[in-house]
Amino acid sequence: MRSAIVCAAIAVFLLSGYAFADEPEAIVVGRRDVPSFVGYVQGQIIVQFKHLSGVNALASPVTGRAGVGVASLDALAERCGVTKVEPLFKGARPKTLNGRVFDLSRHHRITFDENLNLDEVMAAYRSDPNVESVEPIGIHTVAATTRTWTLRRLGTSRPGTPP
């Protein structure tokens, strides 16, 4: 009887930790050899629409602006000089995982007049009720050197040669 109570207590302890667990947090490690942030792409932002998905719009030959068929977003496109709206993940469809819906088809890259202030354009899109989120596109450097000790551990001394 006593062992059954102990087993039940352990099971409750383990299951309660699993049930109340939050999503994993990222750990940031300060390393000097990690590529660094350079800045943001001028004239482009990533916008997640609330209800639009898979929209593709190029500049009209008449107006020179790209519209998506929603009045408030088309007014923003006119004000910000938007020339292109394209899906960030072409062909994406909504997926459900653990009861949550992930819909990458609502993420779009918007190209606008490079002379406009990036923060002002992002603020304008954030204030629109049809927009869920807005992000700038970050530029990061990339390290392109190989480390010979890594190659030796893999059993080769040069890239592209079999072990």
pLDDT digits (tens, 9 = 90+) for 3-17: 666 555 565 555 555
- Mean pLDDT, residues 137-145: 73
Cα–Cα dist 105/109, whole Å: 11
Architecture of domain 38-140: 2-Layer Sandwich (3.30)
pLDDT category, 132, cuts 50, 70, 90? Answer: very high
Kindly state the percentage of the chain with pLDDT values over 70. Answer: 62
- Mean pLDDT, residues 124-142: 89
Predicted pLDDT at 28: 44
- The 10 Å Cβ neighbour count of residue 118 is 18
Q: What is the pLDDT of residues 61-89, one digit of tens each?
A: 667 777 788 888 989 998 999 988 898 88
Helix, strand, coil % in the chain, rounded to nearest 5: 30, 25, 45
Cα–Cα dist 98/143, whole Å: 36
Task: Report how far apart, in Å, the C-alpha atoms of 56 and of each of 66, 71, 88 are.
Answer: 9, 16, 10
- Mean pLDDT, residues 151-155: 58
- Mean pLDDT, residues 32-51: 80
Predicted pLDDT at 157: 54
- Mean pLDDT, residues 23-37: 49
Task: Report how far apart, in Å, the C-alpha atoms of 155 and of each of 9, 83, 150 are.
Answer: 50, 50, 9
What does the angle CA 33 – CA 36 – CA 40 come to, to the nearest 5 degrees? Answer: 170
